[in-house]
Amino acid sequence: MNPESDSGIPQEVPVSYKYEIRSSTILAPLTSIKGDVVKKIVASYSGNERFYYHPKLMSDFDQLDLRDQAEIIKVVKPKIWLPERIADSQWQELLGDEIQKNKITLLREAVTNLQVPGESYVFQRTRKKDKYVPESDDGYLPALTITVSVTDFLLVVGARETDRFDATRTIASGDKNYAGGKKFTFASLDTYDPQCAKVAQENAEAVKVRLLDEQRVAIQDILIQSRDAAGIIPDDQRLYDLSPEDWLSRYQQQWNQRQKLQVALWQDEEQKTLQEFRAEWDRYEAAATTLRQARHSADEVARRAQDLQIDLGTVQRPHDYMINIGADTLQIVENMTASLDRFVKDATEAIEGPSDLNAEYD
């Protein structure tokens, strides 16, 4: 006779008719102190492939005779997963958890962004914030909301030093002006907190190193939390062939192998992204250098025309000094360089006449 579950579906394991398998537990009829027969849970195991937990024998299991105990152990023991299988399952659970996955993604982006090429600096800005003040202990002063001043301290990495200050696009730090970059708020204090003065003096590189370490530690904490969520097997040699220590060693070894492969993949992606940032940075720097050289050539040809008292007529120099290198986009910088090159060519021809090559086609 096969026992049936509450749904009337026969169970997969033919336990003695005295026992009932309900979901992922085994119940046995036991006599209470009052002499009543009560069904008690004597063993449990995971009946769900996705949410595995370690099978275990309950305290009431000891009230069964040895023959019945052996029969139940035969049912429960096949439900035990090897530590390697559990580690793989936990790892897949981590990668499939949208909340944890998003946390790791944001932390990894921060790790990458903190390493981008460029200048780093610290600046601060003040804002207003509503602050709730609870009622006083004696009830004399009512609860209220007040407006306070808060100072945010930000680290900027990957910024470019600009030719000049621009109120809408640059930030002044020390005697330099910067544009662009990636911002990280690393402290927020009441404006009149004495600590503000100390935080304002923090070195940008030191802050960057600290934040980078914090992001990496936060990723590691998520991995450890997910690893430890599996718990550890009960110290029960009736059910388990491994000791808890041996089980944990094998489990962690498998987890560490999984983690090592994943971290290596993340590091490869990180380096690839940083290479792209570096290539973009170098392209802009090369374009800026070319623009400065074009400006120099334009200055020389304009000075030469002035010295020779030659009217360049319709040959007009573009307004290249309106370009703010470091703040303007790569496309704007490249376009201005092309305009300056045309000016130098046309101005030179106005001074010297068309080149022989052009004359040949005239």
Domain ranges of the chain: 20-80, 118-200, 284-361
| Region of poorest pLDDT, from 151-165, 188-202, 214-228 | 188-202
User: 50-89, pLDDT tens digit by residue?
Assistant: 778 899 999 999 988 898 899 999 999 999 999 999 999 9
Give the whole-angstrom CA distance, residue 317 versus residue 325.
18
User: How does strand 182-190 pair with strand 176-179?
Assistant: unpaired
CB atoms within 10 A of CB 62: 9
Name the residue with tokens 């010295």: 307
Report residue 15's pLDDT band, with 50, 70 and 90 as the boundaries: very low
- At residue 139, φ and ψ (nearest 5 deg) are 75, 5
3-state secondary structure of 158: strand
Helix (H) or strand (E) run with residue 120 in it: strand 119-133
Place of tokens 């986009």: 329
Q: What is the pLDDT of residue 356?
A: 56
pLDDT for 295 beyond 80: yes
Instruction: Give the Cα separation of 215 and 110 in Å (integer).
Output: 7
User: Does residue 154 contact residue 186 with C-beta atoms inside 8 Å?
Assistant: yes
147: three-class secondary structure by DSSP: strand
How high does pLDDT run on average in the chain?
Answer: 88
| Residue 179, H or E segment | strand 176-179
pLDDT at 12: 37
Strand partners, 20: 27
In order, the DSSP letters of 28-62 are EEEE-TTS-EEEEEEEE----SSS----EE-GGGG
At 346, is the pLDDT very low, low, confident or very high (cuts 50, 70, 90)? very high
Beta-carbon contacts of residue 328 (< 8 Å; ≥ 6 apart): none
Q: At 147, phi and psi to the nearest 5?
A: -100, 125
- Cα–Cα distance, 158 to 165 (Å, whole number): 18
Choose among 100, 110, 95, 18: nearest CA to 64: 18
